[in-house]
């Protein structure tokens, strides 16, 4: 087995190679003067299981084309199996036509990975697992970082409660609640599909004097978490902590979240960020070990 780090692997490929005691290399990349992407892999891949690690955080489009080129050249070089590891799957939130005429972006992103030649795809907390079921015919795994994120908070919270910012994320709150052996619930969030504006509907929740852990898959503009934190503090929560898998933090959103009154913000390393304190590499390594025996 050989682990190939793409330009956006964010150290996960290296950590994976250490855990799996596998050879590690980095794909070479540069830009042509016109902005086109160049990729080169300088290793013998014939007959080998090749694991390519590339997260799709911004610039998503560039990182995506790099991923496709790496998969394609691995195939050309005679790889026996190609496992694509995409810790953060971009475009996953555009998983349906919210208004007529919109492209279903995740469909093409997933189909491209399959078409480029991947035999198996591993991702972490994709926005909706349904997209994988719907648009892939190769094997895949959607690993959940929620248990390891929740584990980080074990013993750190007083009379805890876990909250999802919306109903769609309730399952994540449930998983975290199971780890922390505490209650879980959800807030009612609405997003205006045209302006993108987020509102959180006031809801009666028994958070008075309790430590609340908000669990979400992505923090992008921070709007969701900021509104949820304010609402929870208004309802009398003692402290509000935030755990998220993918810390996109666009613009100054990290600072915005920190100044909302939140006690701590903890994320994983699927995307580099100042909040990335929990690594998903052990989780991925465990799965790679399990599937290389059967694919």
- Name the site residues for ligand R5P (rule: CB under 6 A): 93, 165, 168-169, 198, 216-224
Q: Which is nearer to ligand R5P, 168 or 236 (CB)?
A: 168
Q: Cα dist. 36→8, 66, 221, 224 in Å?
A: 17, 10, 29, 35
Q: How far is the CB of 235 from ligand R5P (least distance, A)?
A: 19
Comparing CA positions, the residue from 42, 45, 44, 66 lying closest to residue 54 is: 66
156-185: buried (b, 16+ CB within 10 Å) or exposed (e) per residue? ebeebbbbbbbeebbbbbbbbbebbebbbb
Residue 125 or 269 with smaller CB distance to ligand R5P: 125
State the nearest-atom distance from the C-beta of 225 to ligand R5P, in Å: 6
CB nearer ligand R5P, residue 177 or residue 247: 247
CB 74 within 8 Å of CB 41: yes
Decide whether 114 or 129 has the Cβ nearer to ligand R5P. 129
CB of 219 to ligand R5P, least distance (A): 5
Q: Which two tokens stand for residue 126?
A: 């994709």
Nearer to ligand R5P, 124 or 219 (CB): 219
Residue among 96, 189, 201, 203 flagged as catalytic: 189
Rounded-to-integer distance, Cα 89 and Cα 128, Å = 10
Kindly state the smallest distance separating residue 125's Cβ from ligand R5P, in Å. Answer: 10
Q: Tell me if the bond preceding 59 is cis, omega within 30° of 0.
A: yes
Contact between residue 121 and residue 113 where contact means Cβ atoms under 8 Å apart: yes
In angstroms, give the least distance from the CB of 195 to ligand R5P: 12
Element (H, E) at 107: helix 105-116
CB 36 within 8 A of CB 66: no
- For the question of residue 40 being annotated catalytic, the response is no
Task: Give the residue numbers annotated as catalytic, written as ranges.
Answer: 189
């Amino acid at each position: 087995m050989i682990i190939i780090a793409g330009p956006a692997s964010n150290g996960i490929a290296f950590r994976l190679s250490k855990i799996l005691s596998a050879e590690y290399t980095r794909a070479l990349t540069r830009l042509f003067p016109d902005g086109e992407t160049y990729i080169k892999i300088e290793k013998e891949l014939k007959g080998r299981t090749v694991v390519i690690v590339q997260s799709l955080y911004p610039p998503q489009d560039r990182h995506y084309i790099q991923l496709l080129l790496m998969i394609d050249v691995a195939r050309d070089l005679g790889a026996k199996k190609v496992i694509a590891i995409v810790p953060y799957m971009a475009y996953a939130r555009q998983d349906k036509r919210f208004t007529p005429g919109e492209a279903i972006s995740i469909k093409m992103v997933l189909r491209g990975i399959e078409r480029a030649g991947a035999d198996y795809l591993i991702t972490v907390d994709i926005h909706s697992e349904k997209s994988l079921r719907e648009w892939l015919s190769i094997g895949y795994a959607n690993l959940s970082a929620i248990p390891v994120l929740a584990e980080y908070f074990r013993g750190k919270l007083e009379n805890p409660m876990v909250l999802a910012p919306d109903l769609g994320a309730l399952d994540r709150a449930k998983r975290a609640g199971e780890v922390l052996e505490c209650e879980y619930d959800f807030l009612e969030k609405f997003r205006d599909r045209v302006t993108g504006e987020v509102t959180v509907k006031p809801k009666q929740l028994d958070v008075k004097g309790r430590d609340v852990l908000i669990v979400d898959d992505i923090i992008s503009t921070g709007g969701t978490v900021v509104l949820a934190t304010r609402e929870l503090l208004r309802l009398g929560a003692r402290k509000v902590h935030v755990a998220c898998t993918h810390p996109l933090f666009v613009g100054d959103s990290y600072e915005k979240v920190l100044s909302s009154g939140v006690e701590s913000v903890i994320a994983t390393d699927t995307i580099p960020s100042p909040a990335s304190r929990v690594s998903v590499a052990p989780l991925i390594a465990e799965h790679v070990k399990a599937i290389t025996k059967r694919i």
